[in-house]
Structure 1
């Protein structure tokens, strides 16, 4: 008789979760489809010249996105570090070898304060650059960028997510006028897949996406799209070359997995996907049917972001029941299976895009149990 084998997580004593927060790094990004896993397994069985694989895989990504050039690294933050390095060195081999101690006055990156990700600022500093903050926590205007530009400005960093496409058009125009590259951090801004094309068409010089979020590729992968000369400079600064990006190694398995995931992603029927997510949200909200102390709604996220929200999210409002959202969240997290959700004020915020088949039903069941504490 064959006994059930433990999963790799069970062997390590790691608790699996139901992820109703989304494709966030701290929860492992996205889950990969079988065809992506098969491609990675196939890649693992053979040796190849990594530079040849990177070149041909990057060319395929450029073909899929319509970009002039593309490159793959080990995540969006890694890609942003490479874009910073590229703007400092260009295609100068001597300069590549000197980072981060390159003696150049043109080493300032203008970064909007609305981008609160300090690790992105650290990535730009790691390249040898200086970060100059512009705007405030709520907004940054093209005038804020323009007022901060000087002869030392190496590039403008635009955070697409809190900053809009309309703002990007203005910033791109400013960059073209001043002869300064515009880098767009769009790490988590897929779907919609139109963002793969629109940001480049607007005229951004370099655009970065995470491979392990909406695309559904390996978590330790990311994509740079943009101008060929700047992407070529990214390549020079990247692994497997002897350069500052050597630490940002991406393996043959991740490269192949990312290309496969992107090929699937661009063929996705987004209307069908949206309906699947919407059905999950409705299933979750049914748990609150007939309970007078609870209000329910479906909202589309990202809320307050720059582009059209795409993910239907189940909102369960606990009305006047103070601190109840935190108590229910704690009960879900501590349960078996553990369920990760967000809360806003006194409402449960339950995402749908990262759920597996059957997860919505489990969440509804566990919520019904949790409501008994009301």
Structure 2
């Protein structure tokens, strides 16, 4: 085949129009035709295409490829995924799945208007903060609350509003980097605050903070090491000790929990994760935490604490740039109401997964393995360990049950690729040339789809 064998743009476009969806714009068709012909010319120039084809056959093949190209481009980029990795708060897969109540609340306000900033009782302009503040203060014991678009934004807003041009005291062991290159020293510098490190990487005492306070000190900042753990010869000043120091000098104490939680994790065999209400009770003046990690709601950064500090944050110009939209507020409100009603374990998927009993996981794994075996797929039930993920509870795992699948002649990598590229996409683990599916993170309503995808991909 040579470049002379290629059809003209108009000739190929004519064939494509006859086969394409009639709602597709002409400009989209022409652009795709040009792109397909350009790609083929490039392959010819590189010597990758040598075999000639009859003109009509070539035309038909190119038209099919153009339509496939457009179909791929028009398909949504953000798509549902079955998470069989066993990582509950999987950052790359969107973190916390939302509860039925949260999804319903978001769907209810999305299509039309809402009272986002309108007081229905007084008939006057209202504030979007009221939808969440009462719930957050009730659950945490704080005086006031504010929600922004993620916890990194919450920390940055606090630093910018309360510490710009002044000093912030941080333990050397807490000047950390979290996901995405978010480094506490860099954030402090960007906010205009000056970092004052105290103590050592592994041992810091309350007296170290006390000795570093000057007239330029704006706050004491405690950063929870969400995604790593120091062990061995270590010491960290307690929040209550830091609160005593901060109160003695009249400076605020800010506690960045990263994930944060409103429920205890120890009853599930996990290490204790800092609880927001405990930070407030211990004397923190401001606490920041995430909406889409252990809280189990949509992405948000939540700030709770003293009313005077929250008021300062609300007045800062950046607060408007970081505010939440109506659908996120609706989903977060519904999530918080599950906690207020005492139904978080039953209604919020993250906590449903954390608290899932092993016998139930065992039964589900056996049913999945049997369904796969009936479809001619070699599958076996095997114990495994699930992780919390999302920068929460580093190194902590939960006993779980999964299904191992022998991929057959196609091999593990090819089978995994087929599962990733299908609808719905399936993400699992590969171990010893087997695909492994942890049932803890697979919804009961996803099992049939998982069987179908494996059957079709094998």
Q: Same fold (TM over 0.5)?
A: yes
Secondary structure at the counterpart of residue 189 of structure 1? coil
Aligned counterpart, 1:158: 223
Of 303, 307, 312 in structure 1, the residue corresponding to residue 398 of structure 2 is 312
Secondary structure at the counterpart of residue 105 of structure 2? helix
Aligned counterpart, 1:94: none
Q: Is residue 189 of structure 2 the alignment partner of residue 189 of structure 1?
A: no
Aligned counterpart, 1:172: 243
2:291 touches 2:301 (CA, 8 Å); kept in 1? yes
2:206 touches 2:242 (CA, 8 Å); kept in 1? no
Uncovered stretches (5+) of structure 1, i.e. residues with no partner? 1-8, 89-101, 238-242, 319-326
Q: CA deviation at 1:212?
A: 1.9
CA-atom RMSD in angstroms: 4.7
Q: CA deviation at 1:246?
A: 3.1
TM-score, structure 1 normalization:
0.67
Q: CA deviation at 1:234?
A: 1.5
Secondary structure at the counterpart of residue 249 of structure 1? coil
Aligned counterpart, 2:168: 108
Q: Is residue 136 of structure 2 the alignment partner of residue 65 of structure 1?
A: no
Secondary structure at the counterpart of residue 216 of structure 1? coil
Q: CA deviation at 1:120?
A: 5.0
Secondary structure at the counterpart of residue 187 of structure 1? coil
Secondary structure at the counterpart of residue 213 of structure 1? coil
Q: Is residue 302 of structure 2 the alignment partner of residue 223 of structure 1?
A: yes
1:215 touches 1:265 (CA, 8 Å); kept in 2? no
Secondary structure at the counterpart of residue 57 of structure 1? helix
Higher relative contact order (Cα pairs below 8 Å, separated by 6+ residues): 1
| Structure 1 range deviating more: 72-81 or 38-47 | 38-47
Secondary structure at the counterpart of residue 321 of structure 2? coil
Q: CA deviation at 1:263?
A: 0.9
Q: CA deviation at 1:224?
A: 0.9
Q: CA deviation at 1:154?
A: 2.2
Q: How many equivalent pairs are there?
A: 330
1:269, 1:333 → 2: CA distance?
35
Q: Kindly name which structure, 1 or 2, has the bigger radius of gyration based on alpha carbons.
A: 2
| Structure 1 range deviating more: 140-149 or 198-207 | 140-149
2:224 touches 2:256 (CA, 8 Å); kept in 1? yes
Q: CA deviation at 1:215?
A: 2.5
Uncovered stretches (5+) of structure 2, i.e. residues with no partner? 1-72, 119-125, 230-234, 266-274, 370-377, 405-410
- When residues 72 and 216 of structure 1 are mapped into structure 2, their CA distance, relative to the original with a 3 A threshold, is same
1:343, 1:169 → 2: CA distance?
45
1:304, 1:181 → 2: CA distance?
26
2:338 touches 2:344 (CA, 8 Å); kept in 1? no
Q: CA deviation at 1:172?
A: 3.0
1:128, 1:112 → 2: CA distance?
19
Task: Flag the structure with higher helix content.
Answer: 2
Of 280, 292, 316 in structure 2, the residue corresponding to residue 200 of structure 1 is 280
